[in-house]
Chain A
Amino acid sequence: MNLVVYVSDALRTDYVGCYGARRVNTKTIDELAASGARFDDALAAAPWTCPSTMSMITGLYPHHHHVLHWDAPVDPAMPTLFSVAAANGYTTGSFVFDENFLFKGVADANVAGTSETLDGVVAWLREHRDRPFVLWFHSWATHMPYDVDHAERKEWKAAKESIMGGIQSDSASALEALRESYAEAVERSSEHFLAGFLGELDALGLREDTALAFVADHGESWGERFADKQAVKGTYHMHGATLFEEVMQVPLILAAPGIEAGTVVREQVSLVDLTPTLLDFAGIPFDGTDGVSLAGGAPERDLWIVGTDAGRVSQLCVRRPPWKLLVHVESGEEEAYRLDTDPREQHSAPDNVPAELRDVLYEELGALEQPEVSDEDTAKVESRLADLGYL
C-alpha cells in the first residue's frame, strides 16, 4: 500500500465545494471526497506550516514535538511517517514549496524537488512506481501571494507587499480582490495541480494500491480579527497569530482501499491523526503519539491547538465541542468560545466554560516545557519568517 499526502497550503474549508463553497470550482477535490471519506471537523495542530506539518508527520502536538520554528532541532529519535515507513522497507520522497524550509533535519523525508510544477513529482512517481512508497507533496498554490514562485524572490516580495497593503488599507474592494485571487488560486490548485497529480497516479495504475490524504496544513484569514489593520504586517497575521476556526479548520479527505465512497465523518479530528491513520492502512503500527488511527472512525476526545511565537508556545487551546478554550501562555489571559451558538467566535466567555475543561487545559499548561530560544536564535527565527512573508 502506497501512502500519499497532498497538502494544499492555507486552504480554507469554505473555499472547497464539498465543504459548502458555492462559487469556487473544486471539482477534483469534491470527486476525491466523494470517492472516500470527508472529515467535516478536522483541525490543524498549529496555525502555520512549520509546527503544523511536524505534527502531521509525527502524530505529536507542537508542544510535544518542540519544532516551533524552522531552525529548531528535530529530535532524531522522534519517529515520523517517513522514518517509520522507511524502516518498513518503503521508499520515501517529498516535494516542497522551498527546499530551505521543509523538511530540514527530518530523516528519510528525502526532499526530491519543489512543488511549483508537477514535473518533478511526475518523474519521481514514474521512477518509484514499482516499490511501495511514501510521497509527500506540499503545494503552495493556495498560499499567498498567489501564482508567484517563492524562488522568484523579488517578484514574490512585491506581490506579498501588495497584498499586505490591500489588507492594511481596510478597503472593501481590496479585500474582495484578495479573496477573488484566493478563489482563483484554489481552483487552480484543484483543477490543475491536484487533477494533474491524480491523473498521473491513475495513468500509472497506482490509485487502487494507494492510501491518499488531501489536506491543508492550516486555514487562512485576511486580517478580520485585527481591529487595527495596520497591525497586519505579514502572513503571520493571516495565519499564525490567532487560533480562530478559519485558521485552524482544514479540509481533510482520505481515499483508500476499504474506505466506503461518500463517507462523512462529523466528529472533530486532528492532523496529529494523519500519520497513525496512514500507517494503519499500510499495516504498520504507530503507537505512543497524540494521534489515533481514523481508519475505524473518529473517537470522542479533546483536541489541542498550539499557537507559537518566536519559537515558543504562546497559546494553548483545548477544543471540546461545543467549547473551545485557550490561554495566552505569557499573560494568562483566557478566551473561550461556544462553537454551536457562536461559530464565528465573536463573544469570548471564559466564565461560562465547564470548570473541568479548564482543569484539563491548566494541567497541560502546567506540564508545558518551553524550549530555550537564545537571542541569536530569535534573530534567526525572525529572518526565516520574514523570508516567508510571515513578518
Chain B
Amino acid sequence: MSAAKRALIVGLDCAEPSLVLERWRDDLPVLSGLMERGVSGRLTSVIPPITVPAWSCMMASRTPGDLGVYGFRNRSDHTYDGKFIADSTKIHAPRLWDLIGREGGQSVVLGVPGTYPPKPLRGAMVSCFLTPGVDSPYTYPPALRDEIRDVVGEYMFDAHGFRSDDKDPLLAQIYEMTDKRFKLADHLAETRPWQLFAMVEMGTDRIHHGFWKYVDPEHRKYEPGNRFEKSIRDYYVHLDGLIGGLLRHADDDTLVLVVSDHGAKRLDGGIRVNEWLRREGLLALEGEPDGVTTPEKLGIDWSQTTAWGDGGYYARIFLNVEGREPNGTVPAADYERVRADLARRLEAIPDENGNPIPTKAYTPEELYEKPEGVPPDLIVIFGDLLWRSVATIGGDEGIHTFENDTGPDDANHAQDGMWIAAGAGVGARGTLDAHLLDIAPTVLELLGMPVPEDMRGRSRAAELAA
C-alpha cells in the first residue's frame, strides 16, 4: 500500500522561506494550514541556485553536474563561441513525470522550467517560461493549445520587462499571468486524469526581482512609506488564495507539496568580473572600451588572455587552456595552480568600501561527482549571494556596479528555498529542513514507486509519516 495515490506539487519560483514560513505566515491561511497539518522547512537548493537548472534538478534528483546544465547559457564545447540555451532537449535525465509514466501513471505538467519544447508524456504538458510565445508549439498533446485559448484566452508564460523602472504595468502583468496560470491549473486538474500534478508559478520570482527594494528596509534603495511597500506581501496573499482554490482537487489520497527552487534576498550590487579580470591583466581586449560594453562585442585578444567570465546571479569563470581552447595560453600543467590562485583572488574581492564579502569560488569537481558537458572552471558566488556577477567592461564604474547590466534588479537568489508537505502520507511533524534533491525520491516513495538508484537525494518519506 502506498501512502499516497496522487501528488500535487505547486512550485513557486524563488519563494522565500523567511517570508512564507515566518514573516507572513499568519497572512497566508492556506499555506499556514498546510504547515500545521504537515511539515515545512527550508529546502536547500543546488549550486547554482537558479531556475535553470534547479527545477530540472528537483524533478530528476540530479545535480547540475549530472545534467551538464550550469545555467541558461552553457558552453557546448571548448570553442569561444559554442553555446547553447538549456531547453528541454538538453535535459536527458528522467524527471518525475517520466518515471511516473513508466509506472503507467499520468501527469499534468504546467509551466515547470525545462519543459520547452514540450516532449510527449503520458498526460498533458504546458511548457515553461522559456517558451517564445503562444504561437510556438507549447503543449502536449498539440490539441491542448486550442483548449487553453478557450479557457484563459491568451496564455502568459512570463511577465515582461521585470527589470523595468515602470512598476505598475509590471505588477499588473504578474497578477494577470498568475491568475491565468491558476485558472488553467484548475481546468487541467479537473479535466485530466493525473497521478502527478506539477506546476510552477514564475510570478513569485518576478515580483522579488522587481519589487524587493520597496519592501526590504535593508536594501540600499529602500524608501520607507513607498506605495509598493506591501506589493510582495499582497501578492503572496493573493497566491495563497489561488493555491487554496487548487487544493479542492486534492483529496485524502493526495500528497500536497509547495516548493521553491531557491529563495530571495536583497541585492547589494554587482561585481564586474570581466572588468576585474581585465584590471588584473588576465583578460586582454582587442581595443579600449568606449563606454560600457562586453568583451565579446569589443573582441578578446585570446593570445593574451588567461580567463574570462560570464554574468548572472553567479559568475562562471573559464580558463583559456592550451590544447583545450583554440588559442589557449594556460599550460595544461599549470591549470590547477592558475585556477587555485584565481579562486583565492576572486574570493578576496572586497565591497566598494574595501570591506571583505564572503565570496566562494568553487571548482566543479568539488560540487559535482562527475560534471557532464563543459562546466565552468570556477563557479563563483559573490558575497553570499548579496552580490551578483556582471559581465560588462568599460564605462565609469570600477569593479562594483549598482545598476545591473540589464536594468534595475532588486533581489538576488538565496541558497535556500522552502517546502511544505501535507496530505496523504504526511503527519503534523512541524519543521523539517530538506534538500531540493530530496523532493523526487520522497514523492516516488510516497506514491509507492521505485526510486532510481542514481537519484542524488534521499527520500524523506519516513520523517514525514503520519
Are A329's CB and B142's CB within 8 A?
A: yes
Partner of B143, one of A327, A330, A361: A330
Confirm or deny: B140 has a beta carbon within 8 angstroms of a beta carbon on chain A.
yes
Confirm or deny: B225 has a beta carbon within 8 angstroms of a beta carbon on chain A.
no
Per-residue CB contact flags for chain A residues 354-391 toward chain B (1 = under 8 Å, else 0) read 01101101100110000000000000000000000000
Are B104's CB and A332's CB within 8 A?
A: no
8 Å CB interface, A221-275 against B:
none
Are B119's CB and A362's CB within 8 A?
A: yes
Confirm or deny: B220 has a beta carbon within 8 angstroms of a beta carbon on chain A.
no
Confirm or deny: B128 has a beta carbon within 8 angstroms of a beta carbon on chain A.
no
Known contacts A351-B104, A355-B102, A355-B103; A366 and B120 CB within 8 A of each other? yes
Are B141's CB and A358's CB within 8 A?
A: no
Chain B residues with CB under 8 A of A359: 101-102
Partner of A332, one of B101, B102, B103, B120: B120
Partner of A355, one of B101, B142, B144: B101
Q: How far is the CA of A366 from the CA of B143 in the complex (A)?
A: 15
Confirm or deny: B121 has a beta carbon within 8 angstroms of a beta carbon on chain A.
yes
Are A329's CB and B121's CB within 8 A?
A: no
Q: How far is the CA of A331 from the CA of B192 in the complex (A)?
A: 12
Chain B residue nearest to A366 (CB atoms) is B119
Chain B residues with CB under 8 A of A333: 141
Q: How far is the CA of A328 from the CA of B104 in the complex (A)?
A: 18
Q: Contact residue range for chain A? A: 10 to 19
Q: Contact residue range for chain B? A: 10 to 19
Chain B residues with CB under 8 A of A362: 101, 119-122
Per-residue CB contact flags for chain A residues 304-337 toward chain B (1 = under 8 Å, else 0) read 0000000000000000000000011111111000
Confirm or deny: B124 has a beta carbon within 8 angstroms of a beta carbon on chain A.
yes
Known contacts A358-B122, A362-B120, A366-B120; A330 and B142 CB within 8 A of each other? yes
Are B102's CB and A365's CB within 8 A?
A: no
Known contacts A332-B141, A332-B143; A327 and B104 CB within 8 A of each other? no
Q: How far is the CA of A327 from the CA of B142 in the complex (A)?
A: 12
Chain B residue nearest to A361 (CB atoms) is B120
Q: How far is the CA of A128 from the CA of B392 in the complex (A)?
A: 74
Per-residue CB contact flags for chain B residues 410-451 toward chain A (1 = under 8 Å, else 0) read 000000000000000000000000000000000000000000
Q: How far is the CA of A355 from the CA of B122 in the complex (A)?
A: 10
Q: How far is the CA of A333 from the CA of B124 in the complex (A)?
A: 11
Partner of B120, one of A327, A355, A356: A327
8 Å CB interface, B126-143 against A:
140-143
Q: How far is the CA of A185 from the CA of B418 in the complex (A)?
A: 72
Chain A residue nearest to B118 (CB atoms) is A366
Known contacts A355-B102, A359-B102; A330 and B122 CB within 8 A of each other? no
Chain A residues with CB under 8 A of B141: 328-333
Chain A residues with CB under 8 A of B119: 362, 366
Q: How far is the CA of A285 from the CA of B171 in the complex (A)?
A: 65
Partner of B104, one of A331, A355, A365: A355
Chain A residues with CB under 8 A of B120: 327, 332, 361-362, 365-366
Per-residue CB contact flags for chain B residues 126-170 toward chain A (1 = under 8 Å, else 0) read 000000000000001111100000000000000000000000000
How near does chain B come to A326, taking the closest CB pair, in angstroms? 13
How near does chain A come to B145, taking the closest CB pair, in angstroms? 10
Chain A residues with CB under 8 A of B104: 351, 355
8 Å CB interface, B355-369 against A:
none
Q: How far is the CA of A362 from the CA of B102 in the complex (A)?
A: 11
Chain B residues with CB under 8 A of A331: 141, 143
Chain A residues with CB under 8 A of B102: 355-356, 358-359
Q: How far is the CA of A358 from the CA of B120 in the complex (A)?
A: 10
Q: How far is the CA of A331 from the CA of B124 in the complex (A)?
A: 10
Chain B residue nearest to A362 (CB atoms) is B120
- Name the residue among B120, B141, B142 with the largest chain A CB count within 10 angstroms: B120
Q: How far is the CA of A358 from the CA of B101 in the complex (A)?
A: 9
Q: How far is the CA of A334 from the CA of B104 in the complex (A)?
A: 12
How near does chain B come to A363, taking the closest CB pair, in angstroms? 8
Chain B residues with CB under 8 A of A351: 104
Q: How far is the CA of A355 from the CA of B97 in the complex (A)?
A: 13
How near does chain B come to A348, taking the closest CB pair, in angstroms? 14
8 Å CB interface, B285-316 against A:
none
Chain A residues with CB under 8 A of B143: 330-332
Q: How far is the CA of A333 from the CA of B142 in the complex (A)?
A: 11
Per-residue CB contact flags for chain A residues 337-362 toward chain B (1 = under 8 Å, else 0) read 00000000000000100011011011
Chain A residues with CB under 8 A of B124: 332
Q: How far is the CA of A361 from the CA of B119 in the complex (A)?
A: 12
Chain A residue nearest to B139 (CB atoms) is A332
Q: How far is the CA of A359 from the CA of B99 in the complex (A)?
A: 10
Chain B residues with CB under 8 A of A365: 120
Chain B residues with CB under 8 A of A361: 120
Chain A residue nearest to B121 (CB atoms) is A362
How near does chain B come to A222, taking the closest CB pair, in angstroms? 29
Q: How far is the CA of A330 from the CA of B119 in the complex (A)?
A: 13
8 Å CB interface, A37-60 against B:
none
Chain B residue nearest to A355 (CB atoms) is B102
How near does chain B come to A373, taking the closest CB pair, in angstroms? 14
Chain B residues with CB under 8 A of A329: 141-142
Q: How far is the CA of A136 from the CA of B144 in the complex (A)?
A: 44
How near does chain B come to A311, taking the closest CB pair, in angstroms? 15
Chain A residues with CB under 8 A of B101: 355, 358-359, 362
Q: How far is the CA of A119 from the CA of B241 in the complex (A)?
A: 80
Partner of B140, one of A328, A332, A355: A332
How near does chain A come to B260, taking the closest CB pair, in angstroms? 29
Q: How far is the CA of A329 from the CA of B144 in the complex (A)?
A: 11
How near does chain B come to A385, taking the closest CB pair, in angstroms? 22
Chain B residue nearest to A334 (CB atoms) is B122
Chain A residues with CB under 8 A of B122: 334, 358, 362
Chain A residue nearest to B104 (CB atoms) is A351
Q: How far is the CA of A332 from the CA of B248 in the complex (A)?
A: 26
Chain A residue nearest to B100 (CB atoms) is A355
Chain A residue nearest to B143 (CB atoms) is A330
Q: How far is the CA of A331 from the CA of B140 in the complex (A)?
A: 8
Chain B residues with CB under 8 A of A328: 141
Chain B residue nearest to A368 (CB atoms) is B120
Q: How far is the CA of A361 from the CA of B143 in the complex (A)?
A: 18
8 Å CB interface, B100-119 against A:
101-104, 119
Q: How far is the CA of A359 from the CA of B104 in the complex (A)?
A: 11
How near does chain A come to B364, taking the closest CB pair, in angstroms? 29
Q: How far is the CA of A333 from the CA of B103 in the complex (A)?
A: 18
Q: How far is the CA of A327 from the CA of B140 in the complex (A)?
A: 12
B→A interface (CB under 8 Å): 101-104, 119-122, 124, 140-144
A→B interface (CB under 8 Å): 327-334, 351, 355-356, 358-359, 361-362, 365-366
Can you list 25 contacts pairing A with B, beta carbon distance less than 8 Å?
Answer: A327-B120, A328-B141, A329-B141, A329-B142, A330-B142, A330-B143, A332-B120, A332-B140, A332-B141, A332-B144, A334-B122, A355-B101, A355-B102, A355-B104, A358-B102, A358-B122, A359-B101, A359-B102, A361-B120, A362-B101, A362-B119, A362-B120, A362-B121, A366-B119, A366-B120
Q: Which 8 A-B pairs have the closest CB atoms?
A: A332-B141, A355-B102, A362-B120, A365-B120, A330-B143, A366-B119, A331-B143, A366-B120
Known interface pairs A329-B141, A362-B120; 13 further A-B residue pairs with C-beta atoms within 8 A, sorted by A's residue number: A330-B141, A330-B143, A331-B143, A332-B120, A332-B124, A334-B122, A356-B102, A359-B101, A359-B102, A361-B120, A362-B101, A362-B119, A362-B122
